[in-house]
Structure 1
Amino acid sequence: MKTRFPKYRLSLPLTLLAAVVLAGAITLLALWCQPNALRSVVRIFLNKPILIVLNALPVGLLLLGLACLLRSLFFGAALTNLLVCGFSIANRVKIEVRDEPVFPRDLSLLKEVFSAVGNYEIHYPVKAIALVLLVTAALAALGIFVGHQPLSAEKIRGWRGSLLGAAASFGALVLVTVTLLGSNSLYESIGASNPYHLSTMFNETGFPYSFFHQFTTYLVDKPEGFSRSEAAGWETGDRSGLGADVHLVMVMNEGFSNITDDPVFTYGPSEDPLPNLHALREDPHALSGRVVVPGFAGGTANTEFDVLTGMQTNALSATATSAMRTVNRNLDSVLRVFAGDGYHTSFFHPGDDWFYNRENVYRWLGAAETVFADEMEDLEYKGRWVTDDYMAGFIEEKFEEAVANGQWLCNYTTTIQNHMAYTAEKYGPDYDFPPLRTSAALSQEVETMLAVYAEGARDADAMLGRLVDYFSRRPEPVVLAFWGDHLPYLGDNQIGYRQLGLDVIPGQEGQENLTAYETPYVIWANDAAAEALDWENAAAALDLRPDGRISACFLGAALLELTGRTGESPWFDFLNQLRRQVPVVQKDTCLPMEGTAFTSPAGELAADIARWRQWSYYKLKYKEIRP
């Protein structure tokens, strides 16, 4: 073979030039494999040339590293093409099936991925797969006939040079990934038509760049001073059976807020979008205030995580984090405490079970039953989303089922109806929205967004009213907690809030920052529960801040204390003690029981917050909990 087909050897300059060309070609093929049209990607890249570099750079460094290992530029290119384009095709399939891109962390969930494949009708991109395999084979064939000239320096010839070259290339790839590609500020500055939708970000910024960027996300930082043995010593004294026998129903409503209470809105009494929330605040068996959630205009699952675990999304990592994606083991949670008391624990959500990996995460959080949209019958829609009214009826149905089975119920429901986008077409082209009442001068775009959003808020408030009316008639003791997951997304750069004149400035440190993260909550007990809990004394004993503000990570612990479960969990008891010092902790901002916010806590408070972070890390990484 060597005699009949001698290998043509490229010079070093031609080898480097070929590597650049091959890296660009593989990057282009990977972009072509994505669900959006290549011409739209090219248009975006031409407007933002930095994306060309950010996508081709990791591909090129990977190619060089593999070429050094395999001692062939074209063999390295073949393997690079198979890996990069193979992941790109997997990303396309996942986005089309789940509306969620491929993340590096998915590599640790291969078992779950393969088991989930059979649950979906997948249309594989046969043409893309065939082309990728054909190009891979062609590159491998070229590697047989085309090589490169050996380096002149004898010390770096052969395997020694190959290993040194591979180490240098992969080292550069790691360095570039954790610095340039991993930069959140750079990633966010590039922008996308919907920066809160990861699939859109992947489609518009390019799969190679977005995928490598994700290596620096969803991390959990080890807290300073962490000691595994010391943290294990805090896990003592768990008990069960101390709480009062009351059903607990928690409803986290999508995008629910009371922005329409601001004076800039001029609704009359008969037009009030939130009459049930306002009436319930005056109920003698109700507590109300504002819950400070971890994210602005998104991050629903992060609020779920904070409420149920008592950990804090914003403290898990210095980088932006999806808390649910850090979970891969059984964790202590509000659900698990109630389960220890013999309760039936459940989670309901009229969305897909794969989103935020909820299907697995809620099992790890101790939910005995999870019900998602695909298991709900006769779904009712308003536009593309399942209605809040349907979910109210579903909760009632499941409550009656639990009572009929002789079970006490602890349920967490996350709704979806008032999910963005708040466009005129959200509820159909002919939907007649009630008039928007405001004194602000608004653009047509903002006026439409607010009218659509306010209609969803009305339906959320109606859901609250329906549940209160239903449980008021039930003889069983029930505590209902109802709150919003985050403020609504009202346009890029908070245009809706700015035109209203509302002081909503996400991302800034200090007290003014809290307004971007506050949603209303109300905790209400029906007559039977008020009697079982001795409501007046139990509510007063919570020692809530006078304005009712509380971090989402303390809300679940407060519900455990309210229902008499102090002493059952050393973790949640600790959180309730910490809450009495600082009811709100949001990144570096602390809001004490009285007075104004401050940063840089010191002394005992600083030590307790440090313990909180260390204990959270221990639970996420090490604590073993049997199913």
Structure 2
Amino acid sequence: LEKGNENTITGYLNTSVCGGNTADTEFEFLTGNTMAFLPVGSIPYQQYIKSTTPSLASYLKSIGYATYAQHPYYGSGWNRDTVYPLLGFDNLSFMQDYSNQRFVRKYISDETSFDRIIETYENKQDGQPAFIFNVTMQNHGGYTDTYYGFDNTVTADKLNNSALDQYLSLIKMTDEDLKNLIEYFSNVDEKTIVVFFGDHQPNDTVASSVLAANGMDYNNLSNEELKLRYQVPYVIWANYDIDEAAGKDTSVNYLAANVLKAAGVPTNDYQSFLLKLQEEYPIISAVRTDKTADKTLDKASNKSDKATGSKNKQADSDMLNDYKLLQYYRLFDWEDK
């Protein structure tokens, strides 16, 4: 899919977390908000979402979608069983709701998780669109224990890192299961988009030997090297015609708006604002904020051009500040109407 496949958009997603805190990535994707504006160490699912909070789920629900949140583990983890309804999910599935459970190591497998997506699709109301948000569990860390019935099928030659081998073996299994999921939806008549992305990279136990093999010390990474630890691949795939793109890097807060744009689904005011903001700030996370190059000023610019450039800079600054204000309102001062 990452090699320019038809009806596919791929790139790297810049996350705010590494090695854990999956819920923060969920929060950024579902709400369009960013961890960059929240205190270090925050977990919005546990600290801030205490009442109805606007999200991708509540928006799609407002335009006729059925909304499903699925996670093959305990609902109490990160307060998901409390938070998901506040975000607009009407149908929840946790570990006890999964039938025909198959396990990899000690977690419900991605194969089982993807089968639940298919089952949900096949049993939804005819003609009603659905938003199915599925957080898998199979590849959860750590990766240093051994498990009965699980053997590594991938080995990173010469690195001698069993944790890395276990992680890669799990990823390979997920890749095969994703292939089956894509093949299933390739053969359905209803227009469908599958969005697949990582919550974060694995911990240093897994990554350290890979970094070392590339001349990096995980204990002493430069700023540029550190950025690499906060990138995960993402895929937007459709079973109908959409514009393809590769190498389209972004950050988690923008992903949902980009999915709606690719799908041809109208965006609400906040999502439209994010798409505009992305033009000036293509990446915003708790780790980095990247701004597009300012082409309005150069050595040959006259005074008028410089004045225009100054105004543009001010407009950019105002737009970022507007984002902070909008996020505050939507997270802490929202009244459901």
Same structural fold, with TM-score higher than 0.5 when normalized by the shorter chain: yes
Q: How does 1:129-528 map to 2 (within 5 A)?
A: 277-278=1-2, 281-317=3-39, 319-325=40-46, 326-402=48-124, 404-425=125-146, 427-428=147-148, 431-438=150-157, 441-443=158-160, 447-491=161-205, 495-501=208-214, 510-527=223-240
Deviation at 1:475, TM superposition (A): 0.9
Give distance in 2, aligned partners of 1:431 and 1:350: 19
TM-score w.r.t. structure 1 length? 0.48
Q: Does the 8 Å contact 2:11/2:247 carry over to 1? A: yes
Q: Does the 8 Å contact 2:152/2:165 carry over to 1? A: yes
Which residue of structure 2 aligns with residue 620 of structure 1? 331
Q: Does the 8 Å contact 2:204/2:218 carry over to 1? A: no
Q: Does the 8 Å contact 1:442/1:499 carry over to 2? A: no
Give distance in 2, aligned partners of 1:411 and 1:486: 20
Give distance in 2, aligned partners of 1:341 and 1:411: 15
Deviation at 1:507, TM superposition (A): 10
Query: What amino acid is aligned across from residue 553 of structure 1 in structure 2?
Result: N
Give distance in 2, aligned partners of 1:290 and 1:521: 6
Deviation at 1:602, TM superposition (A): 5.4
Give distance in 1, aligned partners of 2:34 and 2:187: 37
Q: Does the 8 Å contact 2:282/2:291 carry over to 1? A: yes
From the superposition, tell whether residues 565 and 452 of structure 1 become closer, same or farther in structure 2 (CA, over 3 Å). Answer: same
Q: Does the 8 Å contact 1:334/1:556 carry over to 2? A: yes
Give distance in 2, aligned partners of 1:552 and 1:522: 13
Q: Are residue 552 (structure 1) and residue 273 (structure 2) matched? A: no
Q: Does the 8 Å contact 2:12/2:250 carry over to 1? A: yes
Deviation at 1:498, TM superposition (A): 3.7
Query: What amino acid is aligned across from residue 268 of structure 2 in structure 1?
Result: S
Give distance in 2, aligned partners of 1:590 and 1:619: 21
Deviation at 1:502, TM superposition (A): 6.7
Which residue of structure 1 aligns with residue 262 of structure 2? 562
Match of 1:604 among 292, 315, 318: 315
Give distance in 2, aligned partners of 1:476 and 1:616: 34
Instruction: Give the SS at the match of 1:491.
Output: helix
Deviation at 1:621, TM superposition (A): 1.4
Q: Does the 8 Å contact 1:339/1:345 carry over to 2? A: yes
Q: Does the 8 Å contact 1:347/1:362 carry over to 2? A: yes
Q: Does the 8 Å contact 1:510/1:589 carry over to 2? A: no
Give distance in 2, aligned partners of 1:504 and 1:617: 38
Deviation at 1:424, TM superposition (A): 4.4
When Rg is computed on C-alpha atoms for both structures, the one with the higher figure is 1
Q: Does the 8 Å contact 2:61/2:88 carry over to 1? A: yes
Deviation at 1:565, TM superposition (A): 3.4
How many residues were matched structurally?
319
Query: What amino acid is aligned across from residue 431 of structure 1 in structure 2?
Result: F
From the superposition, tell whether residues 466 and 435 of structure 1 become closer, same or farther in structure 2 (CA, over 3 Å). Answer: closer
From the superposition, tell whether residues 417 and 504 of structure 1 become closer, same or farther in structure 2 (CA, over 3 Å). Answer: farther
From the superposition, tell whether residues 587 and 503 of structure 1 become closer, same or farther in structure 2 (CA, over 3 Å). Answer: farther
CA deviation digits over 1:600-627, x for unaligned, max 9?
x95322221111111111111111115x
Give distance in 2, aligned partners of 1:515 and 1:613: 26
Give distance in 1, aligned partners of 2:218 and 2:12: 17
Unaligned runs of 5+ in 1: 1-276, 541-545, 596-600
Query: What amino acid is aligned across from residue 411 of structure 1 in structure 2?
Result: I
Q: How does 1:29-44 map to 2 (within 5 A)?
A: none
Deviation at 1:488, TM superposition (A): 1.0
Give distance in 2, aligned partners of 1:352 and 1:458: 25
Give distance in 2, aligned partners of 1:346 and 1:340: 14
Q: Does the 8 Å contact 1:497/1:504 carry over to 2? A: no
Instruction: Give the SS at the match of 2:229.
Output: helix
Larger % of helix: which?
Answer: 1
Give distance in 1, aligned partners of 2:316 and 2:262: 24
Deviation at 1:491, TM superposition (A): 1.7
Query: What amino acid is aligned across from residue 519 of structure 1 in structure 2?
Result: V
User: Percent identical across equivalent pairs?
Assistant: 24
Give distance in 1, aligned partners of 2:219 and 2:285: 12
Give distance in 1, aligned partners of 2:49 and 2:220: 25
Q: Does the 8 Å contact 1:424/1:452 carry over to 2? A: no
